[in-house]
Structure 1
Amino acid sequence: MEIADTHPAALTFRPAGPADIPALVELVESAYRGEASRAGWTTEADYLDGQRTDEAAVRAIIDSPDSVLLVVERGGEQVACCQLEHRGDHAYFGMFAVRPQLQGAGLGKEILAEAERRARALWNATEMRMTVVNVREELIAYYVRRGYRRTGELSPFPYGDERFGVPRRTDLAFELLTKPL
């Protein structure tokens, strides 16, 4: 495994636009699926094959009036992204991806903190929510260390809908995690 970059320049955040879609799809896929994802620790390659997202799904987030897909850049290079969606009194955090070779250097913690700040500032959200595949214990532990609480509330994995991947296991579900803002 490659050593993560430990000399970070300042991160910049901007809303994604249509021109960003192909690069964002590539970024998300590289962080979660296939052999390239194994360079980082967020891979889902042991649990899921197939795609993590596609251009239509990314475009839908960008086009939604209640959502923003943030492009995170460092030194002019796209290094990460995340989705924020306004849902009444709370915000949903999703489509979080950091380039695999940059994972483990603290970028995720910084991006998550900025996402929480923006959810409060943009929508006066009092809580952040996210769903994580239930078998991703290391990833869930990462969020718990950042103040998120496991609710035990599970929603079914969309078996048979290949837009979300091709499961390699029969016990997948999404667990809701929450954090007061």
Structure 2
Amino acid sequence: MITKATSDDIPALEKLINSAYRGETSKKGWATEANLLEGKRITLDQLEEIFGDKNNTILKFTENNQIIGSVLLTDKGEKLYLGMLAISPELQNKGIGKKILQEAEIHARTLGLSKIVMTVITIREKLIEWYNRHGYADTGVREPFALNDADTIITDQHLEFAVLEKTL
């Protein structure tokens, strides 16, 4: 079931997002950043800030009272920004991400928005291909990779973001 997360979900979201992106646990899934970055992907304080901004919505995918997927959606006025899509590593490749993307599109339409935009690290080719299969196209725009205080880059490869967009 996909519903809006609340601030009560912050501890579970922090655990899910960090386990999906970084560290040994994330390596159980195919969408890990563990070969590129170390450190926390998100902190409890950052999640509190996200919930404090009325333009942000976090959707959660819950099964058996456990949050196993989530995504951050930000109303940017003309388009919806989609970020931090996280699926429990051991449950990736089961269609959960696809369902969350579909719900994000419904959310965008509800807000009267006809485009969804996101950024993905350019060298994460398999992830970009996955988004391409779901209708997201590379705009050709690149943005610099910005480090969080908790990030440590562990690759020699240049990190930058590709901007992907889908018109609904």
Q: TM-score range by the shorter chain?
A: over 0.9
Q: What letter matches 2:154 in structure 1? A: R
Structure 1: how far apart are the matches of 2:43 and 2:92?
22
Q: Which runs of 5+ in 2 are unaligned?
A: none
1:134 equivalenced with 2:101 (yes/no)? no
1:84 aligned partner: 73
Q: Using the TM superposition, give the Cα deviation of residue 70 of structure 1 relative to its aligned residue in structure 2, in angstroms.
A: 1.2
How far apart are the structure 1 equivalents of 2:115 and 2:89?
28
Amino acid in the other structure paired with 1:93: L
Give the equivalent residue in structure 2 for 1:4: none
Cα distance between partner residues in 2 of 1:168 and 1:57: 23
* 1:175 aligned onto 2:158: no
Share of identical aligned residues, percent?
38
Q: Structure 2: which amino acid aligns with 1:178?
A: E
Mapped partners of 1:113, 1:62: distance in 2: 22
Task: Measure how far apart 1:14 and its partner are.
Answer: 2.2
**8 Å CA contact retained: 1:48, 1:168:** yes
Q: Is the 8 A contact 1:51 1:162 kept in 2?
A: no
What secondary structure sits across from 1:39 in the alignment?
Answer: coil
Query: SS state of the match for residue 27, structure 2?
Result: helix
How large is the Cα RMSD of the aligned pairs?
Answer: 1.2
CA distance in structure 1 between the partners assigned to 2:45 and 2:161 by the alignment? 22
Structure 2 counterparts to residues 1-181 of structure 1, below 5 A: 12-121=1-110, 123-159=111-147, 161-163=148-150, 165-169=151-155, 170-181=157-168
Task: Give the drift of 1:119.
Answer: 1.2
1:51 to partner: Cα distance: 1.1
Aligned partners of 1:141, 1:14: CA distance in 2, in Å?
27
TM-score by length of 1: 0.88
Secondary structure of the residue aligned to 1:44 is coil
- Determine helix, strand or coil for the equivalent of 2:8: helix
Give the Cα–Cα distance (whole angstroms) in 2 for the partners of residues 135 and 20 of structure 1. Answer: 31
State the Cα distance separating 1:75 from its structure 2 match. Answer: 2.9
Shift of 1:110: 1.1
Q: Which runs of 5+ in 1 are unaligned?
A: 1-11
CA contact (8 A) 1:128 1:178 kept: yes
Which digits, 9 at most, give the CA deviation of each residue in 1:2-54, with x for residues without a partner? xxxxxxxxxx2222222211111110010010010011111000011111111
SS for the counterpart of 1:162 is: coil
The two structures have a TM-score, normalised by structure 2, of 0.95
